[in-house]
Structure 1
Amino acid sequence: MNRREPLGIAVIGAGRMGADHVRRIDRTIGGARVAAVADVDADRAEAVAADIEGCTAHTDPAAAMTAPGVDAVLVASPGPAHEATLLAAFEHDLPVLCEKPLTPDAASALRVMEAEQALGHRRVQVGFMRRYDAEYVRLKALLDSGQLGRPLMLHNRHRNVASPAFFTSAMLITDSVAHEVDATRWLLGHEIRAVTVLRPAASAGAPEGLRDPQFVVLETDGGALSDVEIFVNCGFGYQVQAEAVCERGTARIGDGHALVTHTAGRWGGTIAQDWSERFAQAYDDEVRAWVDGIRRGEVTGPSTWDGYAAAAVCEAGVRALEGGGRVEVDLVDKPDLYR
C-alpha cells in the first residue's frame, strides 16, 4: 500500500455504530476513506454509502472486503456475525478493527485467535475504546508509575438511562460489564480468575424479568478485587466511573465535572445521556490510532487475546448470574503472538 494515499476501509455493519464510524472516517480522523459499506439491509447500506464519493454498498461482507481500494476492515455488525467476518478478512490478510465483543463466546473467540496465529502476525484490534479515553489513560499511567503503590481494589459504576427492548439479564454481563472486564485487565495488568454476581432486588424501572441492577465481583491473579455496579435502567443518565484503591492512596475518574455551574441558589452540571456523548473523543482517538498504526505497518491496541479473555470472563459471569456463587474463569495459555 502507498502510505501517501488514504487508507481504504470497508465498514461492515451500517447500524448506529457503523454509521457513526463511517461519519468519523469520512469527516474527522484523516488519513483514511470509506471505500465500501456492507449491511444485511441493502437500503441501509446504500443510504450510508450514498454521500461518500467512490464508496460502494453491499449486503455481503466478503464482497465489501474485495471492493476496489479496500485496505482494511472495520467490523460494527452484531457480535454473532463477527467470527465469519473476521475469518473472511484473514483470507485476504486484511487488518481489522472489530467492535466488541470479538465474538459472543470463548469457543468462537478461540477459533479466531487460532486462525490469526496461523497467519503468523496480528491482524485484529478489538474495540475496547476505554483504553483511548483520556481519563482512563491518565489513570493507567498513574497506576503504572507505582506512585500510589500496589492496586488493591477497583470500584466501577456503569449506568445507562434505559436498556434496549431486546436486552436480557445475561447481556448486562456480555454487552455492558464486558467493558469493565477489559478495563480491569488493562488498568491492573492482571488476568481475571473468578467471577461472582450478586443480584439485588430488581429496580421498578427495569422491564419485567430483567435482573437490573447487578453487582459483579472480579478476582484477579494479582490478588486485587474489582467490583462493578451495572445498572442499565437508572433513568437519569449515562455514567461510567472507576476508583482505584491502592496501598498509598486512591484515584477516581468519571465524575464528569468538566463544567459546574452556580446559579439561582443551586450548583450542578450535566450528565451524559449515552455512550456516544461520553466517549465520542475516545472513539475518534481509537480509530485514528488504528489507522495510523496500519499506515506504519503495525496492528496495536487490544488484541484478539484480549477479546478472548473478555469472552471467557463474561461466560463465567453469566454462569454466576444464572447459578449463583463463585465461578472460576478457564483460560488457555497465552500464545507467544500476544506476549
Structure 2
Amino acid sequence: MTVRIGVIGTGAIGRDHARRINQVLAGGKIVALSDVNPASAEAVKADIAPDATVYATGEELIAAADVDAVLVTSWGATHEQYVLAAIAAGKPCFCEKPLATTATGAKRIVDAEVAFGRRLVQVGFMRRYDAGYVALKQAIETHTGAPVMVHAAHRNPAVTEAYTTPMAIHDTLIHEIDVFRWLLEDDYVSARVTFPRTCARSHAKLRDPQIVTLTTAKGVVINTEIFVNCHYGYDIQCEVVGEDGVASLPEPMAVQMRLGAKLQNSILTDWKDRFVASYDVELQDFLKAAAEGTASGPTSWDGYMAAVTADACVAAQDDEGATVAISYPSRPALYA
C-alpha cells in the first residue's frame, strides 16, 4: 500500500521530509501541500511533488479525501490545532517537535487520542532512531549495570539574536529530555539550572551557556551542558555511568588525518548532517505504521512528558539554583 501524505508547513524541514518520502523512502507519496506562504508550497510542488494539490489551509488538507496521513512541519505554535484536526479525522499524523507549545496543549492532544481509542500520533524525536543512541541503549541494557549518572552536552556553533534563554530548553534541550527518558526507561522528578559566566558571543536576551540538572524517579542524576554559541561546531555528547561500567555515545564517523603536524578529524557544524540518517529511519517507521492506520515511535504521551519537563526547566531558569519538582498524571493505558 502507498500511503498518500499531506504536508502542512513546507519550510526547511517540511521540504526535506517531502523529499525523503518521494525520493528516498518506500511506501509513501506526497499528494497534498499547505503553507501559510503559498509560494513555498508551490515551490515544493514544482521541485519535489508535481502531482500534489496545494491547499489554502492545513484544515482543508487534512479533510481531503485522498489524504491518508499527515505530516505537521509548520511553525510550532500551530502544531496543536493541526494534530487535533488529524485525530478528529482519524488520520495518522507525524508531528515535528514540539507536539504543542504548552504542556496544557500537549495534554489536550493526549486526551483527544485516548478518546479516539487508537494511536494516531508520532512525535518527531528522531534521536531514538539514531544508530549511536540505539547502540548506547543496548550497552546500558547489557553491559554497564544500573545507571547512576549521565553527563551530556548539546553544543551549537552559533544562534541568532532571536534565540532567547528559554529557547535553550524548548528548542534545544527538548531532544535530550526525550531521549534520556527513553535511554534510561525512567521519568523525571526534579530540575535545577545553573548559569556559568555568560560567553562573549551571547547577547542581552540569552544567558549562554547553562547547565541543567535533572533527577529521575530511580535516582539517576543527569547533568547537561547547553552551549549554543560554542563556535567550534555542532557537538552532541552523552556519557552514562553505570554500576559496572561507563558507556558513551559514539562520535559521528569522520576520517582521521595526519596533516600539517597534527592528528585531526572534522567536526560537524549542522544538526541536519548529524542526524540525517535518523530522519530517514523515523519517517520510514511512520509510513509503515500509517499504512495500518496507526502510529509508531514516540507518542503523544512522550510529547506531553517532554513539555511538562521543559516547563519545569524554564521555571528553574527563573529561579537559578532552586530545585523545581516535576510531577505528571498517571500514564493512560493507550501508551502502556
**TM exceeding 0.5:** yes
Q: Which amino acid aligns with 2:233?
A: G
- Answer whether contact 2:212 2:223 (CA < 8 A) is retained: yes
- CA distance in 2 between partners of 1:268 and 1:68 (Å): 55
**Aligned: 1:258 with 2:254:** yes
> Whole-Å Cα distance in 2 between the matches of residues 68 and 296 of structure 1?
17
Contact 2:127/2:278 (<8 A) preserved: yes
Q: Which amino acid aligns with 1:292?
A: K
1:206 matched to 2:202? The reply is: yes
Alignment map for 1:300-311 (pairs within 5 Å): 300-311=296-307
1:111-156 CA distance string (max 9 Å, x none): 11001101001110111000000000011122122x2110111111
Q: How big is the shift at 1:258? A: 3.3
Query: Which residue matches 1:270?
Result: 266
Between the aligned partners of 2:264 and 2:56, the Cα distance in structure 1 is: 47
Query: 1: CA distance between counterparts of 2:82 and 2:101?
Result: 13
Quick one: which amino acid aligns to residue 21 of structure 2?
A: I
Q: Is the 8 A contact 1:159 1:230 kept in 2?
A: yes
Amino acid of the structure 2 residue aligned with 1:22: A
Partner of 1:189: 185
Moved over 3 A (4+): none
2:92–2:293 CA contact under 8 A, matched in 1: no
Q: 2:313 aligns with which of 298, 317, 320?
A: 317
Matched, 1:90 2:87: yes
- TM-score calculated relative to the size of structure 2: 0.96
Deviations 1:215-272, CA, capped at 9 Å, x for gaps:
0001000110111100111111101111110011101114335321112311111111
Contact kept? 1:155, 1:243, Cα under 8 Å: yes
Q: Note the residue ranges of structure 1 that are not aligned, 5 or more in a row.
A: none
AA in 2 matched with 1:156: A
**Partner-residue secondary structure (3-state), 2:99:** coil
Specify the alignment match of 2:118 in structure 1: 121
Match of 1:138 in 2: 135
| Paired residue type of 2:298 | P
Structure 2 stretches lacking a partner, 5+ long: none
Matched, 1:293 2:305: no
For residues 123 and 286 of structure 1, the distance between their equivalents in structure 2, rounded to whole angstroms, comes to 15
Aligned to 2:219: 223
- Mapped pair 1:101 → 2:98: yes
Mean Cα displacement is larger for which, 29-38 or 64-73?
64-73
Bigger shift: 28-37 or 49-58? Answer: 49-58
Per the alignment, residue 12 of structure 1 pairs with 8
- Do the aligned residues in 2 keep the contact of 1:240 with 1:254 (CA within 8 Å)? no
Instruction: Find out whether 1:55 has 2:52 as its counterpart.
Output: yes
CA distance in 2, matches of 1:203, 1:126: 33
SS at match of 1:136: helix
Equivalent residues of 1:13, 1:77 under 8 A apart? yes
Could you tell me how far apart the structure 1 residues matched to 2:32 and 2:223 are? 41
Task: Name the structure 2 match of 1:162.
Answer: 158
- Quick one: structure 1 residues 97 and 331, their matched pair in 2 at CA, closer, same or farther if it must change by over 3 Å? same
> In 1, are the aligned partners of 2:120 and 2:293 still within 8 Å (CA)?
no
- Where 1:114 maps in the other structure, the secondary structure is helix
Query: RMSD of the alignment, in Å?
Result: 1.2
Q: CA deviation at 1:166?
A: 1.9
TM-score, normalized by length of structure 1? Answer: 0.96
1:238 aligns with 2:237: no
- Code of the residue aligned with 1:152 in structure 2: it is V
Partners of 2:118 and 2:294 within 8 A in 1: no
* One of 48, 59, 73 as aligned partner of 1:76: 73
Which secondary structure does the structure 2 equivalent of 1:163 belong to? coil
Counterpart CA distance in 2 for 1:45 and 1:321 is: 38
Are residues 88 and 225 of structure 1, via their aligned partners in 2, closer, same or farther at CA, if it must alter by over 3 Å? same
Using the alignment, how far apart are the partners of 2:211 and 2:244 within structure 1?
26
